[in-house]
Amino acid sequence: MNKPPKKIGVAAKRKLGSPGKMEQTGSHSIEAKYVLRLYINGSTLKSTLAVKNIKQVCEQHLDRRYTLEIIDICQQVNLARDEQIVAVPTLIKQLPRPLRRLIGDLSDQDKVLFGLDLKECE
């Protein structure tokens, strides 16, 4: 006897028109808390630019609903190895799920917002 495939749903859906807000199934909508890690290599131009760009995005679009950790791979080699960082700068969005990785100086704000699930695909 063949069983029909199980439907796998998403526990939380983005509410249209509300970037960064999440709507849980069977619950009230909640503000998503973002946990971000930016891996950089010292004070290189690209690293400095990435720090500036992600701080600007966080201040403009996340309104104190974020934690940003900046990790210099020269000083914390073990963390970079554990996260399998192969290029810097690399931004990892740990929360809200799904985990996302963005590589580069984060200067294309539309791509960064899309990568952080703060903007719908156009």
Backbone conformation region of residue 60, classed left if phi is above 0, alpha if psi is from -120 to 50, else beta: alpha
pLDDT at 83: 94
List domains and CATH numbers for the chain: 36-115 (3.40.30.10)
Q: Identify the CA nearest to 89 among candidates 54, 23, 38.
A: 38
pLDDT tens digits along 69-119: 999 999 999 999 999 999 999 999 999 999 999 999 999 999 999 999 998
- Residue 4 pLDDT greater than 80, yes or no: no
Predicted structure pTM score: 0.73
Please report, for residues 43, 45, 63, 83, 89, the alpha-carbon distance to residue 19 in angstroms, rounded to integers and kept in the order given. 32, 30, 12, 27, 25
pLDDT at 99: 96
CA 77, CA 89: separation in Å to the nearest integer? 14
Q: How confident is the model at residue 35 (pLDDT cuts 50, 70, 90)?
A: very high
Beta bridge partners of 70: 38
Q: Are 109 and 60 in contact (CB under 8 A)?
A: no
Q: How confident is the model at residue 122 (pLDDT cuts 50, 70, 90)?
A: low
